[in-house]
Amino acid sequence: MFLLGAGASVEAGAPTSLQMTQKLLASFNEAGYLDQAGQALNFVCGAIAAYDAAAGHDPLRSLDVERVYSAVELLAERRDLEVSPFVASWHPAVDVWDRPRLPSFWDKRFAQALAKPGFDTARDEVVALIRSATGQGTGDVYRGLADRMVQQLKQLVAIPPGQTAYLGPLLEMARDKRVDVTTLNYDLAVEQEGAARGIDVSTGIESWTSHRSWDGPEKGVRLLKLHGSIDWRAATSEAQLGHIAREAIAVARIDDHGAPQVVFGKRGKLKGGGPFRSMLSEFEQRLAGALTLISIGYAYRDDHVNHIIEQWLAADHRRGIVVIDPSWSSGGGRGSGPDYRDGLKARLNPDWLPEGQERPPNRMTYLEMGAGDGLQHLLGSDTGPAEQSPPIP
């Protein structure tokens, strides 16, 4: 089985997680008029970078887009969080960007209110003024910001035609047999290269929508998109009397105005609605039938995926991993990723053994290459086998 992370799409022109944050910031700040959502995004990114700098971390590597999105989600829900009763105060700027703003014509409304008999209307306008300057935020600005970040995913990870040829060895492998591929990416790189080569690529989403299974072709790629896709939209089947309407997913054009159905941010990876938990279970079942997992550009930062991989490795000592990642030695950023990867490698390829104990075979092979070079080295070119394949567990 193949497992694709963000690094598997870099050669197609898709941005890394840090580059996605930079592109989001640019899109908000280059608009000419920076609205409340743009101001809130600048504040969130600045606060995260400052916090990490104070802790001695590199602030330039702090702004993983999913971390930023998770922070925005938390701020949107901050009044309802279980921990809220124990928080004496939030950062003062949290509310500054989230308070209801007065309309630009408030002065005219106030003047009209003063001209009316009684003071009720004028009092309401004064109360609105005070709340806009000192009141608590409602979370609406952060909710709106989160929605806009998801919408912009469609443009951020859109891949121009002709940029995915480096995936050729993987697709050609599926020309005459079925190949299981699981991806954590939202882009359409695998689908586009399959279409260019006339090789069937099935996400199984239509099968899940119609009868809650993940059927796939006998030949071609069975592609599980664990975190969703930029061309998926929510749909609801027609409800019959006395029944609950079933959730459904429709495949749409990228330029469709609907919000893509994706799992975005670090807090929502076990999202209950839609096909996501079912896909995770399907991934576990498909992985159980494999002896080798080939991970490409995956930084090992998703705990729910790592847990499934660990249990799969624990169930059979013959199982192993081949890692294709040009930055394996240097690590990939903050958080659990590099530490987890080092620990996994130490367990699968132990350097130290008790005296007298025979060394077990290594169960991890890693190629410090980009996705294209790694696939060609491992599987061969589009037209022939690899001249020298690395040892595969």
The predicted-structure confidence for 89-118, as pLDDT tens digits, reads as follows: 888 888 888 876 656 665 676 677 677 777
- Domain boundaries along the sequence of the chain: 2-12+162-231+263-379, 17-155
Per-residue pLDDT averaged across 270-289, rounded?
88
| pLDDT given at position 253 | 80
| pLDDT given at position 380 | 86
Q: Over pLDDT 70: what percentage of the chain?
A: 84
| pLDDT above 50 for 232 | yes
Q: Best-predicted range by mean pLDDT among 24-28, 187-191, 270-274?
A: 187-191
| pLDDT given at position 356 | 76
Asked whether the beta carbons of 201 and 220 are under 8 A apart, the reply is yes
CB-based burial label for 250 (10 Å; 0-12, 13-18, 19+): middle
What mean pLDDT value characterizes the chain?
A: 85
Q: Which CATH superfamily is domain 2-12+162-231+263-379 in?
A: TPP-binding domain (3.40.50.1220)
Q: Which residue in 323, 354, 258, 306 sits closest to 8, CA to CA?
A: 323
Per-residue pLDDT averaged across 139-144, rounded?
92
Q: What type of residue sits at position 105?
A: F
Q: Which residue in 138, 151, 148 sits closest to 35, CA to CA?
A: 148
| pLDDT above 80 for 383 | no
Per-residue pLDDT averaged across 81-86, rounded?
86
Q: How many angstroms separate the CA atoms of 338 and 349, rounded?
A: 16
Per-residue pLDDT averaged across 220-240, rounded?
87
Q: How many angstroms separate the CA atoms of 156 and 159, rounded?
A: 9
**CB-side neighbour CA atoms (13 Å) of 125:** 17
Q: Can you tell me whether residue 141 is helix, strand or coil?
A: helix
Q: Which residue in 250, 228, 80, 73 sits closest to 147, CA to CA?
A: 73
| pLDDT above 70 for 272 | no
pLDDT tens column, 155-179: 999 999 899 999 999 999 999 999 9
| pLDDT given at position 91 | 86
Q: Over pLDDT 90: what percentage of the chain?
A: 52
Other beta carbons within 10 angstroms of residue 353's beta carbon come to 10
| pLDDT given at position 30 | 83
pTM for this one? 0.84
List the single range of 126-135, 157-166, 207-216, 377-386 with lowest mean pLDDT: 126-135
Q: Which DSSP string do the residues of 144-195 spell out, in sequence order?
A: HHHHHHHHHHHHHT---TT--GGGHHHHHHTSSSEEEEEE---S-HHHHHHH
| pLDDT given at position 338 | 58
Q: How many angstroms separate the CA atoms of 213 and 275, rounded?
A: 10
Q: Which residue has the higher pLDDT, 352 or 387?
A: 352
| pLDDT given at position 332 | 47
Burial 105-143 (b: 16+ CB within 10 A, else e): eeeebbeebeeeeeeebbeebeebeeeeeeeebebebbb
| pLDDT given at position 335 | 41
